[in-house]
Structure 1
Amino acid sequence: MPNRQKKIIFSVAGVLSFACVLVVAAAMGTQFWVQGNVLCTTGAQLVNATGQELDKFVGRFNYGLFQGQTVKQCGLGGRPFRFSFFPNLVEVIPASLHVTVLFFCGVLILFSSVATGFFMYNAFGSPYETLHGPLGLYFWNFICCFCSCLVMILFASEVKLHRLSDSIANFKEGTFVYKTYTEHFDHSFWLIFLTFLVHGLNILLIRVAGIQFPFQKAKELDVNTGAADLMY
């Protein structure tokens, strides 16, 4: 492939990687990772609410990695409550798992920035040095894909397996008991999945530019070395 086309491909991939940096940073600052509804089971059981009456006991919530808000309803109107994970909810959430999610989000931002630099270096610098060439391009994008997968898996396990929404809804509640009624991941969570897809696209762009996968080259070298050994 001509050098001009390679420069264009690497430049496009670099812009996509930098967009991932901005997207992940923006997603971390929002409170739209999870949203849903919460049911006041205590109030609903007291009046034996069913059908449309149950709506008077259903509130809503949404939260992100740092903060969120709930509107609790127990038959007497909405009761809004804003919270932050640190330091308010440290005692009721799986704090180590939550910090791990934040850590890998930071790692994803860092490695996406590094991948951006490597793409731009290969577009306008010396493209075939060891870590600045094919190995570096594939290496950092594979790491970004891996980190984005870890962020989604760890956060999903925190929400579903550790019942994070229930813990938030029942924070500092002594009389009423709340239970998650509906729950789904919001758009900020799916932005991490978009980041995974973008880095996967970058890997394909590297291949389109005519650069073989590193392990393919290693196999070819092994075959050639073995043939040479047999000859001598």
Structure 2
Amino acid sequence: MPSRQKQLLFSVSGLFGFSCALTAAVATGLPFWLNGTVLCRTGAELVNATGPELDKFLGDLSYGLFHGQRVKQCGLGGRPSRFSFFPDLLTTIPAGLHVTIIFFCGVVILFSSVASGFFFFNAFGRPYETLQGPMGLYLWTFICCLSSCLVMILFASEVKLRHLSDQIANFNEINFVFQTYSERYDRCFWLFFLIFLLHALNILLIRLTGIQFPFQETKESDLSGGAADLMY
């Protein structure tokens, strides 16, 4: 492939990596990872609310990785309140899993920036045959791709398996019991899915430049060497 086309592909990949780093940094700090409604089960059971009457006992809940907001509805109007995971909810939520999610978000931000720099370095500089060269491009991009996938899997596990919304809704609540009525992943969660897709696209762009996948050249050289040995 001509060098001009390689520079163009590497530059596009570098822009994708830089965009992923900025997007991951913004999405990590915003409280728009999950949005849902919470039912005041205690109040609904007291009046045997069904159908449209349940709307008087449905409150809103939205949160991210660091803070969020909830509106409790128990038939007498909404009670809005804000909360933060650190340090308020550390004893309530699965802290180890939550910190792991934040850690992998940091990994995505860091290595997306590193990958972007190496893409531009290989586009306009002289690449080394080390981690800054072809192997490095695959390595950093694969780490970003894997980390963004782990962020989505771990957050979904925390929400669904560990019932994170129920724990947040019942935090510091004595008289009422709240239950998650509906929940859906919000824009920040899907931004990490977009980051995953962009890094997967970067892997394809690296291959389009003519760089072989890792270990492919080594395997071919080993086969050729074995064939030469058989000739002698």
Do the structures match in fold with TM over 0.5?
yes
**Cα distance in 2 for residues equivalent to 1:214 and 1:152:** 26
- Residue by residue, what CA displacement relative to the aligned partner does 1:134-158 show, whole Å, maximum 9, x if unpaired? 1111111111111011111111100
- Residue by residue, what CA displacement relative to the aligned partner does 1:95-150 show, whole Å, maximum 9, x if unpaired? 00000000010011111111011101100111352322211111111111110111
**Cα distance in 1 for residues equivalent to 2:70 and 2:186:** 15
**Cα distance in 2 for residues equivalent to 1:53 and 1:213:** 60
Alignment of structure 1 residues 65-80 onto 2, 5 Å: 65-80=65-80
Dislocated runs of 4+, deviation >4 Å:
none
**Cα distance in 1 for residues equivalent to 2:130 and 2:72:** 58
The one-letter code sitting in structure 1 at the alignment partner of 2:33 is W
CA RMSD of aligned residues (A): 0.9
Q: CA deviation at 1:231?
A: 3.0
Instruction: Look up the match of 2:228.
Output: 228
**Cα distance in 2 for residues equivalent to 1:68 and 1:128:** 46
The one-letter code sitting in structure 2 at the alignment partner of 1:148 is S
Instruction: Look up the match of 1:54.
Output: 54
Instruction: Look up the match of 1:169.
Output: 169
Instruction: Look up the match of 1:121.
Output: 121
The one-letter code sitting in structure 1 at the alignment partner of 2:147 is C
The size of the alignment, in residue pairs, is: 232
The unaligned stretches of length 5 or more in structure 1 are none
The unaligned stretches of length 5 or more in structure 2 are none
Tell me whether 35-44 or 205-214 shows the greater mean CA deviation. Answer: 205-214
Q: CA deviation at 1:225?
A: 1.5
- Residue by residue, what CA displacement relative to the aligned partner does 1:59-83 show, whole Å, maximum 9, x if unpaired? 0110000000000000000000100
**Cα distance in 1 for residues equivalent to 2:199 and 2:43:** 48
Kindly indicate whether residue 92 of structure 2 is the aligned counterpart of residue 101 of structure 1.
no
The one-letter code sitting in structure 2 at the alignment partner of 1:136 is G
The one-letter code sitting in structure 2 at the alignment partner of 1:103 is F
Partner SS, residue 184 of structure 2: strand
**Cα distance in 1 for residues equivalent to 2:68 and 2:96:** 19
**Cα distance in 1 for residues equivalent to 2:108 and 2:66:** 17
**Cα distance in 2 for residues equivalent to 1:12 and 1:221:** 31
Q: Percent of aligned pairs with the same residue? A: 69
Instruction: Look up the match of 2:158.
Output: 158
**Cα distance in 1 for residues equivalent to 2:89 and 2:144:** 29
Alignment of structure 1 residues 1-232 onto 2, 5 Å: 1-127=1-127, 129-232=129-232
The one-letter code sitting in structure 2 at the alignment partner of 1:147 is S
Partner SS, residue 35 of structure 2: strand
